[in-house]
C-alpha cells in the first residue's frame, strides 16, 4: 500500500540483536496468540486503486450505517479504532475552515462514529492528517501542512474531546525506519505531541512506523525511543506488502521489544496487515488475506507485543448480512473464520 511506498536498500540479516531461532520458538510456544485488539478506520482510502472495492460504498454510507459499522467492529471484541485521516486530498471529514468538506452521504461522519463508539466502549485514536499532499515525502516538513496540522489538533479538540471515545491521537505521516528514525520525523511527532498533551493531557499518542525488518534496535535506537514523545508504537509487520513473512517477523519484533524494555517509555504494539494485493503491490486493489496466513501473523508477533491492531477491518472484513457492507464478498470469509477462531479459543470478546 502507498502508506509504505518506499523501497528498502537494506537487508535484514544481522539487524536484530539477540534473536535466536531457539528463543523465538520457545517464546512462541509459551505465549497465547493475542486476538485483534483493534483496527485502522477510514472514511476514504487515500490510494484510490487500493480501495476501489469499498471507497464508493463508504461515500454512500448514511450516518446510521457509519454507526452500525463501528458497532459491528466492536462486536468482534475490538477495543480500539485508529482513524487514519480527518482530511484527505485537501478536503475534510469534519466541519473546519481549513478545507472544504468531502461530499459524503453522512454530513458529519466523525461525530457519528465517535457517538457510536461512546455507546459500545470503543476507543478512537484520531488521525491528525492529511493536511498537505499525503503522497509527498516532504509533508512533515512542509510549513503550510505543519501549520494546518496544529490548527486541526486545536479544532478537533474543541469539537470532539468531550466524547468518552476520544482516546487519543494518531500521527499518520508514518516514519520509514531506515535503520533508525530520522531526526526530521522525531521533530514532527514531538511537535504534534507537545500541543496534543497541552490540550488533551490524558490522551494517548500512537504512531505506526514501517521499515520494521530493517530497524536496528541498538543503543542509538534506544536513545531515539527515549526522546520520541509517544505512548504507543505499533510496528507494521509488512506481510501484506510482501516485504516480510510470518516466519521472519518474530526476530524483528523480539529485537524491538528488547529496545522498548530498555527505553521504558513507549509500549510496543503490532500493526498486522490482513490484506493481500490482487496484483502488483501498491498498484492494484487490496483484498482479504486467507485467515490461515493472518493467524500465522498473529502467532508470530504475540510473544513480543502488548496488543495487535490490524490494517484493516474495513474492506477486509464484513459480518454476513451487514447493513454497512463495504468490500468484496470474500470479506465475510475472513470475518467468519476469525470469529470461529475467537470462539474456539475462548478469547474474551464482545461477540455480537
pLDDT in tens, 75-88: 999 999 999 999 99
Helix or strand run (H / E) with residue 196 = helix 183-199
Q: For residue 86, give the CATH number of its domain.
A: 3.20.20.80
Q: Between 291-301 and 331-344, two packed helices, what is the crossing angle to 10 degrees? A: 50
pTM beyond 0.85: yes
pLDDT of residue 17: 37
pLDDT of residue 347: 54
Structural domain contains residue 23: no
- Chain centroid, CA 321 distance in Å: 26
Structural domain contains residue 286: yes
Structural domain contains residue 28: no
Encode pLDDT of 178-202 as tens digits: 999 999 999 999 999 999 999 999 9
Structural domain contains residue 39: yes
Structural domain contains residue 26: no
Quote the longest CA-to-CA distance of the chain: 56
Rounded mean pLDDT of 31-60? 94
85-111 burial, b if ≥16 CB within 10 A, otherwise e?
bbbbeeebbbebebbeebebebebbbb
Q: Which domain holds residue 155?
A: 35-344
Residue 88: φ, ψ to 5°: -160, 135
Encode pLDDT of 262-280 as tens digits: 999 999 999 999 999 999 9
Total tally of structural domains belonging to the chain: 1
Structural domain contains residue 27: no
Q: What angle do CA 152, 153, 159 make, to 5 degrees?
A: 85
Compute the residue count for the chain.
352
Grid-cell match 501549520, residue found? 147
Residue 111: φ, ψ to 5°: -60, -40
Structural domain contains residue 30: no
pLDDT value at 118 more than 80: yes
- Chain centroid, CA 308 distance in Å: 10
pLDDT of residue 6: 32
Structural domain contains residue 322: yes
Amino acid at each position: 500500500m502507498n502508506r509504505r511506498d518506499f523501497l528498502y536498500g537494506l537487508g535484514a540479516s544481522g539487524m536484530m540483536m539477540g534473536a535466536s531461532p531457539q528463543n523465538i520458538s520457545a517464546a512462541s510456544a509459551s505465549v497465547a496468540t493475542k486476538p485483534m485488539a483493534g483496527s485502522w478506520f477510514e472514511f476514504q482510502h487515500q490510494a484510490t486503486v487500493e480501495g476501489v472495492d469499498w471507497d464508493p460504498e463508504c461515500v454512500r454510507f448514511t450516518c446510521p450505517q457509519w454507526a452500525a459499522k463501528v458497532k459491528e467492529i466492536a462486536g468482534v471484541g475490538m477495543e480500539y479504532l485508529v482513524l487514519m485521516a480527518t482530511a484527505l486530498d485537501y478536503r475534510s471529514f469534519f466541519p473546519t475552515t481549513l478545507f472544504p468538506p468531502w461530499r459524503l452521504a453522512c454530513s458529519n461522519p466523525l461525530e457519528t462514529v465517535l457517538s457510536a463508539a461512546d455507546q459500545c466502549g470503543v476507543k478512537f485514536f484520531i488521525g491528525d492528517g492529511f493536511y498537505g499532499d499525503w503522497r509527498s515525502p516532504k509533508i512533515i516538513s512542509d510549513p503550510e501542512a505543519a501549520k494546518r496540522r496544529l490548527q486541526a489538533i486545536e479544532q478537533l479538540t474543541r469539537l470532539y474531546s468531550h466524547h468518552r471515545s476520544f482516546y487519543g491521537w494518531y500521527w499518520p505521516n508514518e516514519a520509514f525506519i531506515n535503520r533508525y528514525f530520522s531526526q526530521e520525523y522525531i521533530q514532527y511527532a514531538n511537535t504534534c505531541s507537545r500541543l496534543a498533551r497541552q490540550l488533551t493531557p490524558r490522551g494517548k499518542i500512537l504512531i505506526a512506523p514501517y521499515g520494521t525488518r530493517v530497524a536496528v534496535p541498538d543503543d542509538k535506537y534506544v536513545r531515539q525511543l527515549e526522546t520520541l514523545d509517544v505512548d504507543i508504537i505499533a510496528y507494521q509487520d509488512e506481510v501484506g506488502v510482501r516485504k516480510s513473512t510470518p516466519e521472519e517477523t518474530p526476530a524483528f519484533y523480539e529485537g524491538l521489544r528488547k529496545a522498548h524494555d530498555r527505553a521504558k517509555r513507549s509500549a510496543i504494539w503490532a500493526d498486522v496487515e490482513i490484506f493481500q494485493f490482487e496484483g502488483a503491490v501498491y498498484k492494484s486493489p487490496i483484498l482479504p488475506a486467507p485467515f490461515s496466513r493472518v493467524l500465522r501473523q498473529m502467532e508470530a508477533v504475540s510473544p513480543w507485543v502488548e496488543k495487535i491492531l490490524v490494517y484493516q477491518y474495513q474492506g477486509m472484513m464484513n459480518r454476513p448480512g451487514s447493513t454497512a457492507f463495504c468490500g468484496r464478498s470474500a470479506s465475510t470469509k475472513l470475518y467468519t473464520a476469525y470469529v470461529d477462531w475467537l470462539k474456539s479459543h475462548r478469547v474474551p470478546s464482545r461477540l455480537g
